[in-house]
Chain A
Amino acid sequence: MIPACRLADLPRGEAHRLDIDPPVSVFHTDDGELFAIDDTCTHQDASLADGWLEGCEVECPLHASKFDLRTGAVDAPPAKLPVRTHEVVVEDGMVYVQLSTAAPNLPPCISARLAGGPA
């Protein structure tokens, strides 16, 4: 499990981005639920933590693709592929993320970089 942040430092309606590769973000919804998904929109390289959180959905700030935080599914295009979801655990006021072992769906340029191509 990866420590993300203190729960007290993540108010409702906000997101915390973990600068790992690929990056992951933890969202604290207005209803008080915590979700973690891959931070990068599957359509083009943009941080979903910089996007707009509404209910259990996050909207990408670039082209308004929407993802369901519970399932990672695409709720609105232009993204086609889902983001991965990760398990969130809170212990002693700390938020931890248990990374998914599935393969991530990353936008083309990031996939190329992870594969050793030009960034």
Chain B
Amino acid sequence: MTSTSLPDSLIATLPGSSYTDPAIFAQEQERIFETMWFCVARASELAKPGAFRTVDVGRESILVTRARDNSIRAYFNVCRHRGAKLCTEESGEVKRAFQCPYHAWTYDLNGKLVAAPNLTKMPDVGRTEYGLVSVAVREWLGYVWVCLAENPPSFEEDVIGEVVSRLGDVESIERYDIDNLSVGRRITYDVKSNWKLIIENFMECYHCATIHPELTEVLPEFADGYAAQYYVGHGAEFGEEVQGFTVDGSEGLDRIPGVADDQDRRYYAITVKPQVFINLVPDHVILHRMYPVAVDRTIVECDWLYLPHVVESGKDVSRSVELFHRVNQQDFDACERTQPGMSSRMYAKGGVLVPSEHHIGAFHDWVNERLGLSQG
């Protein structure tokens, strides 16, 4: 058991404790989720001023809302007075202000403290100074991204850069016009596994032929085990007999007009660390957001996005949705099956990655680097 040398074909994974130790998860919350750009919501969920959503980002509850000027704002969901959770619902709409249910400190949609009992007797209390504390917000692809860091990293490098490094350029994703697509379906999965198992699963396709029969029918090259993410700019081609990206290979929905000819009949997959997966096919886009809630539990929210008229006209998207919904269930079942093994004595030092999974090693190096751990 003391041997550290592996055959050339194999490289080591992270140790089992990386997936089971609450202390490591706490470090990941602090150094990954609370410092990087984190995708929290579809902007269209915040349809008008006062609409809000609360989301946990790392160890913090964040309140995301739309102000009167239609800009999206995000705040720590914590009252400045005595720290009560300001907004307790997951989503909803306020008319004009957020009011703490404890002492009625009241904040407008711009976060300013507008009223509180006896506030006029405390003219030295600054209404902005004691307003809600905001966090950085960006809108991209029609999604709201927040960053809790005091000095957020470059969104262009960290988020857009991940897409560019996968697709080769930003135009390749812009052609799908994701900002203007509509949510045709949203499914939320409660996965009893560590978030890294889900990322690792998404990054490789060594499992595809075994657990994804429908997907491998549509994308025959997946039987080789090389994920679309293995090569820069590569999209997996649909099988010759396949008409569309659907559960039975039947025709899909209307093709997104901007999609280039060389992108047609292809599937692209992108991981935007630490919690977003994007899949591009000619007639829709599938976007996953992970919300890691515990070392062994992750909520995954998955949107299927189509051209607005497809959704508005009530066209049947069920065969289209069913393909990746099955893929999701197959993947998350596999992750849940793997999670218990992470605490096995046998897995204390981790497992191994085969060549078609070696790029996951770069993900592990990245995690270690974020946590300030030496590679070992």
Chain A contact residues, CB within 8 Å of chain B: 17, 23, 39-40, 44-47, 50-52, 61-63, 109, 119
Contacts and interface: CB of A to CB of B under 8 A. Distances in A.
B121 A50 contact: no
Contacts of A51: 115
Given A61-B114, A62-B99, A119-B121, 19 more contacts: A17-B120, A23-B120, A45-B117, A45-B118, A45-B120, A45-B121, A46-B115, A46-B116, A46-B117, A50-B114, A50-B115, A50-B119, A52-B96, A61-B97, A61-B115, A62-B106, A62-B115, A62-B116, A63-B104
Interface residues of B, number: 13
Interface of B: 96-97, 99, 104, 106, 114-121
The 5 A-B residue pairs with the shortest CB-CB distance, nearest first, are A61-B115, A45-B118, A50-B115, A47-B120, A62-B104
Nearest to B127: A50
Residue with the greatest number of chain A CB neighbours at <10 A, chosen from B99, B104, B115, B121: B115
Nearest to A62: B104
Given A52-B96, A61-B106, A63-B104, A46 B119 contact: yes
A44 B115 CA distance: 12
Residue with the greatest number of chain A CB neighbours at <10 A, chosen from B97, B99, B106: B106
Nearest to B104: A62
B115 A109 contact: no
24 contacts: A23-B120, A39-B120, A40-B120, A44-B117, A45-B117, A45-B118, A46-B115, A46-B116, A46-B119, A47-B115, A47-B120, A50-B114, A51-B115, A52-B96, A61-B97, A61-B106, A61-B114, A61-B115, A62-B104, A62-B106, A62-B115, A62-B116, A62-B117, A63-B104
A44 B121 CA distance: 13
A62 B104 CA distance: 6
Contacts of A62: 99, 104, 106, 115-117
A103 B106 CA distance: 29
A63 to B, nearest CB: 7
Contacts of B120: 17, 23, 39-40, 45-47
